[in-house]
Amino acid sequence: MVVDPILLLMAAGLGLCVGSFLNVCIVRLPRDRSLLRPPSACPRCKHPIAWRDNIPIVSWLVLKGRCRHCREPISAQYPIIEAAVGLIWVGALARYGVTIQALAAALFGTILLGIAVTDARHYLIPDEYTWGGLVLGLGLSLTGGVSGFVQAVLGAGAGFALLFAVAQIGQWTFKEEAMGGGDIKMMAMVGSFVGWKGVLLTVFLGALLGSLIFVPLSLRKKRLVPFGVFLALGAALTFVFGETIIAWYLHFLRGN
Ligand SMILES: [Zn+2]
């Protein structure tokens, strides 16, 4: 897909700003703090961060990763998340062109990144990502007409039901909570973007990646690596490559 370079630059700029907002979400949502107030300030000297020190990536580089006033180090997480979201938005536009699918890809990728980082750090998936993402997924599906909306609702229902069943079985088997409610809500959100077949592929890929990475890492670190991280990876792969993988699988089943 050939896209005007100016549009790609605009997508990059927009993605960087969305990434800057995602940083605020990553820091504040797990602590139940407002996303709007108070404005960002240095955690040590409490100096409010001026707009010129809040330009994605650039400000962090100019300030060499330190607060302008007290020289307190500023986490490299900020520019890394900004760059990652910038790349997601450029990638979505480059792959899908100026379409609703590109917007869906960009928003879905951003939400999944937020979920993965938050779940890895805090072992929780805030409702803002899951319920908020579900509303976005269902809303965007309306642009595909009734059938698009029906697919999204079926996907959300399948995601919810499948993870709910897995959580119940886990509870009976291990007598403890194997999977949090966050994972269940997350898969409802994922289903609204990728449909019910996509839900199955996401859980399959998540479990596959999980057992390849999750189990050895959990044993080594002696602590659980949250499953939401792998579901997020599986969901992103499904969004981009799902149709190809499912078509290949069906072809394989027919034995030719
Ligand atoms: Zn400071």
Question: What is the SS3 assignment for the chain?
Answer: CCCCHHHHHHHHHHHHHHHHHHHHHHHHHHHCCCCCCCCCECCCCCCECCHHHCCCCHHHHHCCCECCCCCCECCCHHHHHHHHHHHHHHHHHHHHCCCHHHHHHHHHHHHHHHHHHHHHHHCCCCHHHHHHHHHHHHHHHHHHHHHHHHHHHHHHHHHHHHHHHHHHHHHHHHCCCCCCHHHHHHHHHHHHHHHHHHHHHHHHHHHHHHHHHHHHHHHHHCCCCCHHHHHHHHHHHHHHHHHHHHHHHHHHHHCC
Residue 91 confidence class, pLDDT cut points 50, 70, 90: very high
Percent over 90 (pLDDT), the chain: 76
Average pLDDT over residues 93-97: 95
Average pLDDT, the chain: 92
- What is the reported pLDDT for 132? 97
Q: Report the DSSP beta bridge partners of residue 73.
A: 66
d(CA 67, CA 229) in angstroms, rounded, equals 31
Q: If you average pLDDT over residues 48-73, what whole number do you get?
A: 94
Q: Which of 192, 106, 111 is nearest to 149 (CA)?
A: 192
φ, ψ (nearest 5 deg) of residue 39 = -65, 160
In the predicted structure, residue 200 carries a pLDDT above the cut 70:
yes
Q: What mean pLDDT do residues 179-201 have? A: 94
Over 90: is that where the pLDDT of 45 sits? Answer: yes
CB atoms within 5 A of ion ligand 1 belong to: 42, 44-45, 67, 69-70, 72
pLDDT of 215: 73
Q: How far is the CA of 79 from the centre of ligand 1 (A)?
A: 17
Angstrom distance (rounded) from CA 163 to CA 109: 21
Cα 80 to ligand 1 centroid, rounded to whole Å: 20
| Structure confidence at residue 19 (pLDDT) | 97
Spatial contact of 136 and 110, defined as CB atoms under 8 Å apart: no
Q: Which residue(s) pair with 41 in the sheet? A: 48
Q: What angle do CA 78, 223, 170 make, to 5 degrees?
A: 110
Task: Tell me what pLDDT residue 227 has.
Answer: 85
Distance 52 CA to ligand 1 centre (A): 15
* Cβ contacts of 62 within 8 Å, gap of 6 or more: none
Q: How many A from CA of 27 to the centre of ligand 1?
A: 17
Distance of CA 180 to the CA centre of its chain: 17
Q: How far is the CA of 66 from the centre of ligand 1 (A)?
A: 8
Distance 70 CA to ligand 1 centre (A): 4
Instruction: Read off the pLDDT of each residue in 14-30 and give the average, rounded to a whole number.
Output: 96
The mean pLDDT value for 48-60 works out to: 93
Given a contact cutoff of 8 angstroms between Cβ atoms, the answer to whether 140 and 100 are in contact is yes
The pTM score is 0.92
- Give the pLDDT mean for 125-139: 97
Ligand 1 centroid to 81 CA: how many Å? 21
For ligand 1, the distance from its centroid to the CA atom of residue 49, given in whole angstroms, is 9
Return the closest-CA partner of residue 227 out of 246, 202, 249: 202
pLDDT of the residue at 255: 80
In the numeric block, which tokens belong to residue 171?
């509870």
Centre of ligand 1 to C-alpha 87, Å, is 29
What separation in Å is there between the alpha carbon of 64 and the centre of ligand 1?
13
What is the whole-number distance in angstroms between the Cα of residue 68 and the centre of ligand 1? 7
Cβ–Cβ < 8 Å for 187, 199? yes
Please, what is the Cα angle at 215 between 209 and 220, to 5 degrees? Answer: 130
